[in-house]
């Protein structure tokens, strides 16, 4: 049986632990503990990371106080145009937060420019995020959720009175201080009243699970959009699961727009409040002041007064709010500043379930694909040769550019002339991506089988493919091994991001593979995970399968920081078929469970 002449270590498992991360911090960012910024801020340890950058604990040596400093890292590999937009957004974050003076909003102390990048100096909060608290405990108790919700509402009220919409309320952006306080942070995509927009046409910014329906459909956000996000945030914290999370961004956005959430089971007296906040119709949601009163009642041991809900809301059994009419209204927020909610969305026609699903999918796909959706943390990773996958301008494919990521593998293998769906049935609301292609039996496409791997994960593989271990990695391949899928799982990755890991691998392989050519390499999104990257390349193999070959390598970090990597290669003249196989396998991927 043939074996590989050139073994491709698509994961650098042989590298000494820790060298990759430190090397890229030093060479790419030149930022580290002990560095002095602006002659007064001494960097300490890194205390948080996100899609846009990371946060350092630092010492303000002039005022002798601890501060938090946000470093913008997302633009390190971006084009000049995209870097300018990121820098504007960072300054916008500082200006937005600076307009708000409230104990429930993180204070911005200073903005400085270092290494040609803006840095934000903020109040240091000794504590953890709501996301971390929920992750550690499984669920947040109702009493704690009510207290947190009350303080967040007070902070949002102050922001709205100052003319600022947060637009990214989620568990990771709510800080729980050790002294019991709750603060909102990260106004990086906030909208300031009177400012020109800094988003491109069709661009959606924010975390999909917590985007209000009107924002998913391209409508203008209002204060009610922040409240919807708060409802989804508290639902997630109390239930331990997002109300709308599905298996891909497309199906998640479809659920946000068309599906009512399952009534929470662990929210007690907060249930009607949460369900009202999650009303699809912005006009049917309670105002911040009304919601604040309801949360206050629960914190004081009283039942919330449901009469404060808008007249347009009726609570049906199970607590789901239903709009009785679509009358446009004006809500007074805080001190009486009139804020007009977005136009009410007419109730969907119920002439046929299939028609509703198709219409919803069309709305979501038009938002993601036709308009060229862009995530703020997706940037050009190909040295100016085209946008990285799913990044700004992803709706306009350029030769050598990875496809935009529609959950598992984007919008189709355009290089192979294939359409997006490939018979995968992802948007049918069924058994999950890749399990409903026509011609299959039992929910599995014809010619495929679902394997439950001993490592705990599950995915579809073509019939006849077998498993073997290669070091610490797992291969699935046909009998002749002319191509193979290689899967790697690393619970302690050496690199800050998958993108940095792929750059490191490229340095190794570009020197050893004959006629190596990069086709694309850049950040992307896989299963809503912002720490994802994809690399496609080509080379000429000498033996045992001589001739041109191509490969694709997809990596992502999950919420626990575990790195998952999928690598597939094959003959260039069969690439459209091989690439379609990769799409089916990655769309059907089910990672190991918590106990695996």
pLDDT tens digits along 44-70: 998 876 656 678 999 999 999 999 998
Q: Provide the pLDDT confidence category of residue 463 given band limits of 50, 70 and 90.
A: very high
What is the average pLDDT across 190-217? 62
In 106-222, which ranges are continuous DSSP H helix?
Answer: 130-137, 142-161, 213-216
What distance in Å separates the CA atoms of residue 388 and residue 10, rounded to the nearest whole number? 20
What distance in Å separates the CA atoms of residue 572 and residue 409, rounded to the nearest whole number? 19
CATH superfamily entry for domain 32-123: Phosphorylase Kinase; domain 1 (3.30.200.20)
| Phi, psi angle pair for 381, to nearest 5° | -115, 25
Contact 121, 41 (CB under 8 A): yes
| C-alpha dist (Å) from residue 286 to 94, 228, 433, 479 | 29, 10, 36, 61
Contacts of 129 (CB under 8 A, 6+ apart): 48, 171, 172, 173, 174, 175, 176
What distance in Å separates the CA atoms of residue 286 and residue 299, rounded to the nearest whole number? 18
Contact 286, 310 (CB under 8 A): yes
**274 cis-preceded (ω within 30 degrees of 0):** no
What distance in Å separates the CA atoms of residue 397 and residue 386, rounded to the nearest whole number? 8
Q: Provide the pLDDT confidence category of residue 187 given band limits of 50, 70 and 90.
A: confident
What distance in Å separates the CA atoms of residue 532 and residue 553, rounded to the nearest whole number? 11
70 token code pair: 């946000």
Residues forming a β-bridge with 448: 462
What is the average pLDDT across 322-328? 33
Indicate the CATH number of 127-339 among 1.20.210.10, 1.10.510.10, 1.10.3720.10, 3.30.1330.40: 1.10.510.10
> Can you give the pLDDT at residue 228?
95
Q: How far apart are the first and last CA of the chain?
A: 33
89 or 595: which leads in pLDDT: 89
Range with the largest mean pLDDT of 67-76, 179-188, 228-237? 228-237
pLDDT of 227 over the 70 cut: yes
Q: CA quadruple 247, 251, 257, 259: dihedral positive or negative?
A: negative
In 494-547, which ranges are continuous DSSP H helix?
Answer: 498-512
pLDDT of 364 over the 90 cut: no
> Can you give the pLDDT at residue 430?
31
271 token code pair: 């249930």
CATH number corresponding to 364-369+377-587: 3.40.1000.10
Out of 168, 435, 528, 569, the active site residue is 168
9 token code pair: 């270590």
pLDDT of 337 over the 50 cut: no
What distance in Å separates the CA atoms of residue 166 and residue 184, rounded to the nearest whole number? 9
- Is 168 annotated in the active site? yes
| C-alpha dist (Å) from residue 447 to 35, 126, 138, 437, 466 | 57, 55, 40, 10, 14
The answer on whether 507 is annotated among ligand-binding residues is: no
Range with the largest mean pLDDT of 121-130, 300-309, 341-350, 466-475? 121-130
What distance in Å separates the CA atoms of residue 105 and residue 400, rounded to the nearest whole number? 43
Contact 266, 301 (CB under 8 A): no
| C-alpha dist (Å) from residue 450 to 133, 225, 436 | 35, 40, 12
Q: Provide the pLDDT confidence category of residue 289 given band limits of 50, 70 and 90.
A: confident
What distance in Å separates the CA atoms of residue 180 and residue 198, rounded to the nearest whole number? 35
What distance in Å separates the CA atoms of residue 262 and residue 341, rounded to the nearest whole number? 25
> Can you give the pLDDT at residue 216?
87
What distance in Å separates the CA atoms of residue 403 and residue 391, rounded to the nearest whole number? 9
Mean pLDDT, rounded, of the chain: 72
Range with the largest mean pLDDT of 71-80, 155-164, 176-185, 211-220? 176-185
Number of helices (H) and strands (E) in the chain: give both, helices first: 12, 24
| Crossing angle between the packed helical segments 223-239 and 142-161, to the nearest 10 degrees | 160
* Nearest partner of 289 among 330, 333, 233, judged by Cα: 333
User: Kindly report the CA angle at 205 between 202 and 21, in degrees rounded to 5?
Assistant: 125
Contact 389, 520 (CB under 8 A): yes
Contact 125, 153 (CB under 8 A): no
State pLDDT tens for residues 84-98: 776 776 777 677 777
- The single residue listed with the structure tokens 């790697």 is 488
Contact 296, 150 (CB under 8 A): yes
What is the average pLDDT across 236-246? 92
What distance in Å separates the CA atoms of residue 580 and residue 447, rounded to the nearest whole number? 13
What distance in Å separates the CA atoms of residue 259 and residue 121, rounded to the nearest whole number? 41
pLDDT of 459 over the 90 cut: yes
364 or 160: which leads in pLDDT: 160
Contact 582, 27 (CB under 8 A): no
Domain residues of the chain, as ranges?
A: 32-123, 127-339, 364-369+377-587
Length of the chain: 596
* Nearest partner of 476 among 446, 451, 513, 502, judged by Cα: 451
Give Rg (Cα) of the chain. 25
> Can you give the pLDDT at residue 144?
95
What is the average pLDDT across 400-414? 34
> Can you give the pLDDT at residue 196?
38
What is the average pLDDT across 13-17? 35
> Can you give the pLDDT at residue 73?
66
Contact 595, 428 (CB under 8 A): no
| Crossing angle between the packed helical segments 142-161 and 288-299, to the nearest 10 degrees | 150
> Can you give the pLDDT at residue 481?
81
> Can you give the pLDDT at residue 208?
82
Contacts of 495 (CB under 8 A, 6+ apart): 20, 21, 24, 501, 504
Percent of the chain past pLDDT 70, that is, above it, reads 65
């Amino acid at each position: 049986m043939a074996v590989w002449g050139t073994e491709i270590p698509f994961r650098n498992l042989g590298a000494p632990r820790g060298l990759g991360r430190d090397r890229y911090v030093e060479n790419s960012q030149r930022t580290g503990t002990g560095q002095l910024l602006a002659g007064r801020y001494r960097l300490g340890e890194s205390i948080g990371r996100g899609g846009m950058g990371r946060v350092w604990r630092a010492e303000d040596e002039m005022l002798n106080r601890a501060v938090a400093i946000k470093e913008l890292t997302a633009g390190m590999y971006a084009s000049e145009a995209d870097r300018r937009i990121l820098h504007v957004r960072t300054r916008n974050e500082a200006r937005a937060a600076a307009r708000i003076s409230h104990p429930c909003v993180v204070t911005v102390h200073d903005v400085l420019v270092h290494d040609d990048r803006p840095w934000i100096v903020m109040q240091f909060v000794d504590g953890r995020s709501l996301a971390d608290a929920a992750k550690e405990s499984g669920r947040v108790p109702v009493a704690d959720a009510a207290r947190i919700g009350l303080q967040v509402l007070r902070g949002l009220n102050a922001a709205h009175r100052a003319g600022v919409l947060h637009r990214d309320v989620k568990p990771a952006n709510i800080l729980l201080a050790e002294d019991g306080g709750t603060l909102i942070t990260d106004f990086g995509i906030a909208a300031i009243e009177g400012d020109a927009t800094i988003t491109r046409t069709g661009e959606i910014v924010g975390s999909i699970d917590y985007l209000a329906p009107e924002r998913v459909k391209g409508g203008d956000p209002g204060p009610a959009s922040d409240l919807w996000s708060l409802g989804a945030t508290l639902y997630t914290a109390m239930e331990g699961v997002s109300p709308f999370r599905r298996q891909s961004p497309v199906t998640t956005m479809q659920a946000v727009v068309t599906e009512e959430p399952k009534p929470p089971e662990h929210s007690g007296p907060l249930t009607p409040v949460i369900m009202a906040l999650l009303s699809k119709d912005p006009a049917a949601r309670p105002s911040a002041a009304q919601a604040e009163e309801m949360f206050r009642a629960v914190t004081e041991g009283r039942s919330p007064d449901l009469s404060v809900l808008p007249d347009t809301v009726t609570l049906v059994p199970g607590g789901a709010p239903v709009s009785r009419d679509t009358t446009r209204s004006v809500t007074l927020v805080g001190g009486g500043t009139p804020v007009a909610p977005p136009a009410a969305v007419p109730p969907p026609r119920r002439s046929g379930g299939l028609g509703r699903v198709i219409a919803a999918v069309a709305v979501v796909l038009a938002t993601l694909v036709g308009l060229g959706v862009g995530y703020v943390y997706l940037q050009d990773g190909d040295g100016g040769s085209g946008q990285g996958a799913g990044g700004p301008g992803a709706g306009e494919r350029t030769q050598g550019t990875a496809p935009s990521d529609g959950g598992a593998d984007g919008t189709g293998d355009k290089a192979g002339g294939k359409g997006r769906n490939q018979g995968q049935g992802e948007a049918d609301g069924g058994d999950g991506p890749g399990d409903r292609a026509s011609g299959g039996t039992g929910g599995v496409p014809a010619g495929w089988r679902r394997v439950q791997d001993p490592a705990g994960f599950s995915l579809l593989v073509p019939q006849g493919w077998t498993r073997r271990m290669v070091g610490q990695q797992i291969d699935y391949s046909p009998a002749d091994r002319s191509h193979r899928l290689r899967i790697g799982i690393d619970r302690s990755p050496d690199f800050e991001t998958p993108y940095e890991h792929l750059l490191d691998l490229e340095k190794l392989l570009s020197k050893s593979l004959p006629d190596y050519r990069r086709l694309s390499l850049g950040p992307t999104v896989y299963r809503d995970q912002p720490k994802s990257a994809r690399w496609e390349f080509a080379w000429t193999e000498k033996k045992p399968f001589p001739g041109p070959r191509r490969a694709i390598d997809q990596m992502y970090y999950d919420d626990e920081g575990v790195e998952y990597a999928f690598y597939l290669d094959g003959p260039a003249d069969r690439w459209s078929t091989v690439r379609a196989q990769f799409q089916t396998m990655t769309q059907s991927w089910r990672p190991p469970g918590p106990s695996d």
